[in-house]
Amino acid sequence: MSSDTRADALAVDLTRRSDDDLAELFALRPDLAAPPPQGTGVLGQRALSAASIALAGESLDLLDVAVLEQAIVLGTPPKRRKTPVPVTVSAIVDALSDRAEPADLAARVDHLRRLALIWGDDDSLHVGAHTAAALPWRALHLTGPLGHLTPDEVRARLDGLDERRSDLLATLSRGPALGRSRDAAPDADPAAPVARLIADGLLARIDHQTVELPPQVGQILRGEPPLRSDDLHRPVPDDDNASRRFSARDIDAAAGGEALELIRHTVALLRVLGTAPAAVLRSGALGVRELRRLSKATGLDQRRVALIVELLAHARLIDAGFPDPPPANDTGEHAFAPTTQADAWLHQPPERQWLTLAQAWLSVPRRAWQVGEPDRDGTTIPALSAENQDAHAPAQRHTILAGLANTAPGTRVSVAGLVAALHWHHPHGLRRITTRVVDETLTEARELGIVAHAALSSVGRALLAAEPDDEDAATLAAMRKALPEPVDHFLAQADLTITVPGPMTPDLAEQVELVADLESGGAASVYRVTEDSVRRALDAGRSSSELITLFTAHSRTPVPQSLTYLIEDVARRHGQLRVGLASSFIRCEDAATLAAVLRSDAADHLALRALAPTVAVSPSEIREVLEQLRSAGFAPAGEDSAGELVDMRTRGSRVATTRGRRTLIPPRRSALNSDQVREVVSRLRSHDRAMAARPAREKKGSTTPVRAAGNGETTTALIQLALRANRPLRVDYVNAHGSASRHIVHPRIMSAGQLIGTEDGTDDEQHFSLHRITSVELLSE
pTM of the model: 0.80
Residue 262 in any domain: the answer is: yes
Tens digits of residue pLDDT in 526-547 = 999 999 899 888 888 788 888 9
**In a shared domain, residues 501 and 562:** yes
Instruction: Decide if 259 is inside a domain.
Output: yes
Q: Which amino acid is at 89?
A: V
309 and 445 fall within a common domain: yes
Q: Which residue has the higher pLDDT, 656 or 350?
A: 350
At 97-110, the pLDDT tens digits run: 999 999 999 999 99
- The per-residue pLDDT for range 55-88, each reduced to its tens digit, is 999 999 999 999 999 999 998 877 655 667 789 9
Same domain? For 362 and 401 the reply is yes
What is the pLDDT averaged over residues 661-689?
Answer: 69
Virtual CA dihedral for 424, 129, 89, 93, nearest 10 degrees?
-40
Q: 521 and 454 share a domain?
A: no
What is the count of structural domains for the chain? 5
Do 421 and 368 have their domain in common? Answer: yes
* E strands present in 422-547: 451-452, 455-456, 491-492, 497-500, 517-520, 525-528
Beta-strand ranges (E) seen in 107-171 are 118-121, 124-127
734: three-class secondary structure by DSSP = strand
Instruction: Provide the 10 A C-beta neighbour count for residue 604.
Output: 9
Task: Indicate whether 664 pLDDT > 50.
Answer: no
419-433, 529-543, 605-619, 679-693: which range is least confident on average? Answer: 679-693
Q: What is the pLDDT of residues 216-231, one digit of tens each?
A: 999 999 988 888 899 9
Q: Is residue 558 part of a domain?
A: yes
Both 519 and 589 in a single domain?
A: no
Number of Cβ within a 10 Å radius of residue 53: 22
- Picking from 424, 453, 482, the residue at the C-terminal end of a domain is 482
In a domain, 136, yes or no: no
Which domain, by its residues, includes 542?
Answer: 491-569
Residue 560 and residue 589 share a domain: no
Does some domain include residue 38?
A: no
Which pLDDT does position 81 carry in this prediction? 59
Euclidean distance between CA atoms 517 and 514, whole angstroms: 8
- How would residue 663 be classed by pLDDT, with cut points 50, 70 and 90? very low
pLDDT at 670 over 60: no
pLDDT of residue 29 exceeding 90, the answer is yes
* In the predicted structure, residue 707 carries a pLDDT above the cut 80: no
DSSP assignment, residue 503? P
Taking residues 603-627, what's their average pLDDT?
85
Q: Which of 532, 550, 569 is the last residue of a domain?
A: 569
With respect to residue 331, please indicate whether it lies within any of the assigned structural domains: yes
Count of beta carbons in the 10 Å neighbourhood of residue 361: 24
| Alpha carbons 110 and 106: distance in angstroms, whole number | 7
The secondary structure of residue 770, as a DSSP letter, is G
**253 and 366 both lie in a single domain:** yes
- Average pLDDT of the segment spanning 285-296: 93
Q: In degrees, to the nearest 5, what angle opens at C-alpha 357 toward C-alphas 270 and 333?
A: 40
- Mean pLDDT rounded to a whole number for the chain: 87
Asked, for residue 270, whether it belongs to a domain, the answer is yes
Among 287, 284, 295, 339, residue whose Cα is nearest residue 317: 339
Q: Which of 133-137, 401-405, 495-499, 727-731 has the lowest mean pLDDT?
A: 727-731
Judge if 536 and 614 occupy the same domain: no
